Structure 1
Amino acid sequence: MADGAVKMAEAGCQYITVLGVDFMSENVRAILDQAGFEKVGVFRMSREEIGCSLADAAASPNYTHFLETASKASPSLHVIYINTSLETKAHGHELVPTITCTSSNVVHTILQAFAQVPNLSIWYGPDSYMGENIAELFHQMAGMTDEEIAEVHPEHNSTTIKSLLPRLHYYQEGNCIVHDMFGHEVVEKIKELYCDAFLTAHLEVPGEMFSLAMEAKRRGMGVVGSTQNILDFITRRVKDALDRDLEDHLQFVLGTESGMVTAIVAGVRRLLNSLESSSKRPRVTVEIIFPVSSDSITRTSMNACHVPSSFAAGDLSMPTLIPGVTSGEGCSIHGGCASCPYMKMNSLRALLQVCHHLPDKDNSLTAYQAKGFSSTTPLGRSVAEVGCEPILHMRHFQATGKLPDKLIQQILDHSEKDEMKL
């Protein structure tokens, strides 16, 4: 998002609106300032605070205490979920060498870090569900064969996985309010009604849902991972069924945000349409079950959703719906935080209101301006400069598959400082 804002500024854009939570607009403001575009206006969509339960958890005194504990263990690496404020990243990085992660790369980031630094301790936060699920995933990997483990990461085997287990720590007081919906009651309903369905689970959902999907994964009937992993799994299964050219009815339980339903339906629809264009009617139907509480989604009619006849979609109480842009849910056609009450504060009405008042000669948009970082870290450095570094470390990892030398040196230097204190 911030990179996109820089490109807009380079193209001559004078005002940028951010449809997201506050830490996103703050990040955009900071990156623009660093790139020399201090005069470009950045505006958020509400006079009120647009929070985020995960970002708030990482900004708490308890999280600082978690990192202070980490700073006393050497060598240590702080792996922080990308959905946190730049200020949190900066303060964390000064306490413990830090790299950001996404749900798509967190597992490989941690495994690569353990491979590159002997006796490393990992401190992950702030999402407690994701931390618990990563620990569970590694416990299950410890029981796999070396060949199976090598398929996940070539530098690991059962011995190395077992050795890293006691050195993986995660924060236990931070949850995403959206993923919190996938709890015990939902799991029991899935077991009762959808025991033969394909099961999917995001790394952020509660452990019961995650464990259920992990068990299904071992049977070849499930997937755990990022939203993209889930989307790829479902489209691949549908394509396999179409290639067999047999009558089949596929059921997928979707353990992630409601907005994902839109992207999944669009992907499957493309597959079916490609078959119909070859004058061959598909013999496969797809049912997507979105198992969350009824108050977390928008109920609509089938006509309003424009759902093709080859689909059935609904939650366990069986309303007809396709969350996403077409039914007033979802922050993009690719899904996302569609059930988050904070993200829903980004309305078209709010956007039009902000745009109507630009260029804001009467200062009526002061409350909508993104927060800037004029403050410094405890060590006197720029919050924007220090907070961006963990993101740059992640980008290096994404490009090369390895942690950057600079981060490795920061880990070793931090370890030497701790030894000198002793």
Structure 2
Amino acid sequence: MDPEVQGILTAAQKEWPHIHISDSLVMADSAVKMAKAGCQFITVLGVDFMSENVRAILDQARFSEIGVYRMSDDRIGCSLADAASAPAYMDYLAEGSKSPPSLHVVYINTSLETKAYAHELVPTITCTSSNVVQTILQAFAQVPDLHVLYGPDSYMGANIKELFQQMTMMTDEEIGEIHCAHNKESIRSLLRRLHYYEDGTCIVHHLFGHEVVEQINEMYSDAFLTAHFEVPGEMFSLAMEAKRRGMGVVGSTRNILDFIKQRAQEALDRNVKEHLQFVLGTESGMVTSIVAAVRNVLGSAESPTSGAKISVEIVFPVSSESMTKTSSDQSSLGVNPGKIGDLMLPVVPGVASGEGCSIHGGCASCPYMKMNSLTSLLTVCHQLPDEKNTLLAFRAERFKSQTPHGKSIADVGCEPILHMRHFQATKKLPDNLVHQILHCTSNGRSCRGLSLI
């Protein structure tokens, strides 16, 4: 979200207990806690699949009377979620199901409807960018001759496969430190049975392509390099090379944040004057949490007895796709220019396609998440309770339809999430998921006929 929204809500947390800021995974759990504490209405600042998930989890927790509201009367989309909702994605799963035993590992950033429909085609477990590698490795270790179908993020799928390819160059001992059940032979074997969807991207991370890589090599070769798993392969390879030198990190937003905090702490421990430069290869909204974390780490540097003078700079390597060229009279715009090589471009609102750089969100900014503004939040809150039904378009959707096998979308769609939670707690796939994998075949027998409890 915009720094303004994040900043105000973070400050308000000190006075109001029912504010929760996190990724999409635990938002619904927090909503249940709020309902148990007596909240009658819950607003979700996110994209639509997040509010749908909150609505479904509250219903399953017997809080169907709690109102759940989105931040717009228009659709708040997500390019990844949309890719997984397309018929082509279900065709991809249907084709993959012809090679049993098979498991669908789906990115958490998809709708409940997608998870439900997918789970009736192929046994499905959700993943995050933090646990996707371990999920896949554990699945291959736990189920012999397994085929894994990953989706919908094509860049992440390709990057994971490249990561496993690089692991074949490691020693068995090094591989064992990543996952104790694997060695070079098992990694080579699983590569042939790992598949990923090839037509799904995040419109923000798509911007980190070859042009950005060239810019980093030219201008920021000495900087620390961070990259999300969703970036294109060129950026991924560059970040992996930096990681091998101890100068980079590849992974989730949490991995990136932890890396930056660790490097700041190490600089502080050296007790010297030092300037740290980080290239941020992910959505610009993350800078708010980075600033808060770094300030917390460097707080002790303000001590009179400390000789440390640490400064931290966050660099957004901007693609020309995310900029709009405007009048050369920049002073009249009241904004600062951004530089791409030798090309000077002003950073202005309202850029092409509604994405990229703007004074409201910075570079590599998600246009959908920016629909969650303070204005929209106040608009919704000031009209609650909605006695005149003026907020009907803002209400989170409750799934009334059923899956092709006649089951509740919410019930079936939540199962892959529960499978992941079991994995996070035990580091193993749950027995009922393994049972589904082994008994689902392509001869027309539905795995949904098995017990899912």
Shorter-chain TM-score range: 0.7 to 0.9
Given that residues 84 and 114 in structure 2 are in contact (C-alpha distance below 8 angstroms), is that contact kept between their aligned partners in structure 1?
yes
Q: In the alignment, is residue 145 of structure 1 matched against residue 161 of structure 2?
A: no
Q: In the alignment, is residue 169 of structure 1 matched against residue 195 of structure 2?
A: yes
- Aligned-pair distance for 1:373? 0.9
> In the alignment, which of 82, 90, 95 is matched to residue 69 of structure 1?
95
Give the alignment's TM-score, normalised by structure 1: 0.88
> In the alignment, which of 353, 356, 360 is matched to residue 379 of structure 2?
353
Given that residues 422 and 428 in structure 2 are in contact (C-alpha distance below 8 angstroms), is that contact kept between their aligned partners in structure 1?
yes
User: Counterparts in 2 of 1:207-286, with a 5 A limit?
Assistant: 207-277=233-303, 279-286=305-312
> In the alignment, which of 1, 7, 10 is matched to residue 36 of structure 2?
10
Partner residue in 2 for 1:287? 313
Given that residues 71 and 372 in structure 2 are in contact (C-alpha distance below 8 angstroms), is that contact kept between their aligned partners in structure 1?
yes
Question: CA 1:315–1:140 in structure 2 vs 1: closer, same or farther (change >3 Å)?
Answer: farther
Q: What are the ranges of 5 or more consecutive residues in structure 2 without an aligned counterpart? A: 1-26, 324-337, 348-358, 448-453
- Aligned-pair distance for 1:245? 3.0
Given that residues 242 and 248 in structure 2 are in contact (C-alpha distance below 8 angstroms), is that contact kept between their aligned partners in structure 1?
yes
User: Counterparts in 2 of 1:355-370, with a 5 A limit?
Assistant: 355-370=381-396
- Aligned-pair distance for 1:280? 1.2
- Aligned-pair distance for 1:367? 1.2
The range that moved more, 265-274 or 7-16, is: 265-274
Q: For 1:212-246, what per-residue CA distance to the aligned partner results, in whole angstroms no more than 9, with x for missing partners?
A: 01111122221111111112122222222232334
Distance in 1, Cα, partners of 2:383 & 2:288: 33
Count of residue correspondences = 397
> In the alignment, which of 438, 441, 451 is matched to residue 412 of structure 1?
438
Q: For 1:136-162, what per-residue CA distance to the aligned partner results, in whole angstroms no more than 9, with x for missing partners?
A: 101101111111111111111100000
> In the alignment, which of 397, 401, 414 is matched to residue 423 of structure 2?
397
- Aligned-pair distance for 1:396? 0.4
Given that residues 15 and 41 in structure 1 are in contact (C-alpha distance below 8 angstroms), is that contact kept between their aligned partners in structure 2?
yes
Q: In the alignment, is residue 55 of structure 1 matched against residue 55 of structure 2?
A: no
Given that residues 90 and 377 in structure 1 are in contact (C-alpha distance below 8 angstroms), is that contact kept between their aligned partners in structure 2?
yes
Distance in 1, Cα, partners of 2:246 & 2:96: 38
Question: CA 1:256–1:417 in structure 2 vs 1: closer, same or farther (change >3 Å)?
Answer: same
> In angstroms, what is the RMSD of aligned CA positions?
2.7
- Aligned-pair distance for 1:80? 0.3
Question: CA 1:420–1:6 in structure 2 vs 1: closer, same or farther (change >3 Å)?
Answer: closer
Given that residues 273 and 307 in structure 2 are in contact (C-alpha distance below 8 angstroms), is that contact kept between their aligned partners in structure 1?
no
The range that moved more, 232-241 or 278-287, is: 278-287
The range that moved more, 133-142 or 256-265, is: 256-265
The range that moved more, 100-109 or 367-376, is: 367-376
- Aligned-pair distance for 1:269? 2.5
Give the alignment's TM-score, normalised by structure 2: 0.82
Q: What are the ranges of 5 or more consecutive residues in structure 1 without an aligned counterpart? A: 298-313, 321-326, 331-336
**SS state at 1:20 partner:** coil
Q: For 1:94-122, what per-residue CA distance to the aligned partner results, in whole angstroms no more than 9, with x for missing partners?
A: 00000000000000000000010011000
Given that residues 294 and 315 in structure 1 are in contact (C-alpha distance below 8 angstroms), is that contact kept between their aligned partners in structure 2?
no
> In the alignment, which of 204, 207, 220 is matched to residue 181 of structure 1?
207
Report the identity percentage: 69
Q: For 1:45-85, what per-residue CA distance to the aligned partner results, in whole angstroms no more than 9, with x for missing partners?
A: 11111111011000001101011011111000000000100
> In the alignment, which of 113, 116, 122 is matched to residue 139 of structure 2?
113
Question: CA 1:344–1:6 in structure 2 vs 1: closer, same or farther (change >3 Å)?
Answer: same
Distance in 2, Cα, partners of 1:11 & 1:264: 31
Q: For 1:322-366, what per-residue CA distance to the aligned partner results, in whole angstroms no more than 9, with x for missing partners?
A: xxxxx8549xxxxxx981111111111112112222222222111
- Aligned-pair distance for 1:196? 1.8
Question: CA 1:419–1:201 in structure 2 vs 1: closer, same or farther (change >3 Å)?
Answer: same
Question: CA 1:295–1:18 in structure 2 vs 1: closer, same or farther (change >3 Å)?
Answer: farther
Q: For 1:269-289, what per-residue CA distance to the aligned partner results, in whole angstroms no more than 9, with x for missing partners?
A: 223221222521314333221
**Amino acid across the alignment from 1:382:** S
Distance in 2, Cα, partners of 1:359 & 1:245: 55
Question: CA 1:168–1:158 in structure 2 vs 1: closer, same or farther (change >3 Å)?
Answer: same
- Aligned-pair distance for 1:19? 1.2
Given that residues 209 and 235 in structure 2 are in contact (C-alpha distance below 8 angstroms), is that contact kept between their aligned partners in structure 1?
yes
Given that residues 322 and 364 in structure 2 are in contact (C-alpha distance below 8 angstroms), is that contact kept between their aligned partners in structure 1?
no
